[in-house]
Amino acid sequence: MKALLVDNINDIAVEILNNSGIETVVLPPQSEEKLFEIIGEFDAILLRNLTYVTEKVINNAARLKIIGRVGSGLDNIDLEAAEKAKIRVVNSPDGNTIATAEQTLALMLALTRKIPMACASAFAGKWEREKFMGNDLYGKTIGIIGFGRIGSRVAKLCEAFGMNVLVYARRKITDYPSFDRLEDILPLCDWISLHLPKTPDTTGMINAKTIKLMKKGVKIVNCARGALVNELDVVQALESGIISGIATDVFEVEPDISKSPLLKFPDKVVAVAHLGASTIEAQINVAKDVAQKVSDFLDENKSY
């Protein structure tokens, strides 16, 4: 059995696979073309979010039995093609929950207290206290859009900061006031935090139409998927003042974010390059979890 690891997965995954007698090859993120060329050698592939396993790749994966997504999202894997090819897909939905929830609060604090802007000013040798007047989180109302593992954790952290928590979810929530229609929750929020996967229903859900429903001066934080936000519409709202700021861990187009219109607003935007799960603890947790799942599956399907 032979496994390919890409996207800078923690070394613990190699250790687990090797201890199970699985040969491992570790490579940097792969383009579709390169992955297409080499995938035929492997029984398993483990990846994070930079390499895409497309239908084209899957159709050339004669030996591939399992795809392991080292993290929670699956949007860089063609699930329909994998199912058709009878390839198992596993991930680690729990391993990065704490890291991503804490990243959400970190970005909120950075935006509301203008920390990146003030830091750049200080490093330039300037003393500009009046320029970087911020706002408290305490007493503000936040709408948690999506109430899964991460969203529910963010709600508890926000509550600890003295924020009023509202929830948008399709299922009934008893812990906080909840809404099953986006148009009902948006007008009530000082902050909006996104915690939904990328699907046809959620893609572009923050757009010109939904922005019109928001309270003037609202702030948005996105540690979910960049596709949830129409960046051009958000830019127009930043210019008009409907949105006073956005803190984002993700972009519509990754990893080449150089053309994102959000980056034209360094005074209103706090942005980092998809670091939500980038803690040592989270990467060890998800690597161990997925590597063990892959190892167990290959062991059970040796004759497959």
Tally of residues, the chain = 304
Tokens for 99, please give them.
């890291």
Antiparallel, parallel or unpaired: β 243-248 and 218-222? parallel
In this structure, are residues 81 and 59 in contact, taking their beta carbons and an 8 Å threshold? yes
Which among 225, 231, 252, 281 is annotated as catalytic?
A: 225
Residue 23 annotated to the active site: no
Which among 69, 153, 195, 274 is annotated as catalytic?
A: 274
Torsion of CA 166, 275, 33, 91, to 10 degrees: -60
Tokens for 227, please give them.
């596709």
Strands (E), 55-136: 66-69, 88-90
Count of CB atoms within 10 A of residue 168's CB?
A: 25
Residue 274 annotated to the active site: yes
**Which one, of 213, 157, 205, lies nearest residue 188 by Cα?**
213
**Which one, of 293, 224, 237, 227, lies nearest residue 269 by Cα?**
237
In this structure, are residues 16 and 61 in contact, taking their beta carbons and an 8 Å threshold? no
Sign, CA dihedral 152-157-160-161, equals negative
Residue 195 annotated to the active site: no
Q: 143 — alpha (psi -120 to 50), left (phi > 0) or beta?
A: beta
Tokens for 144, please give them.
């948690």
| Active site positions, annotated | 225, 254, 274
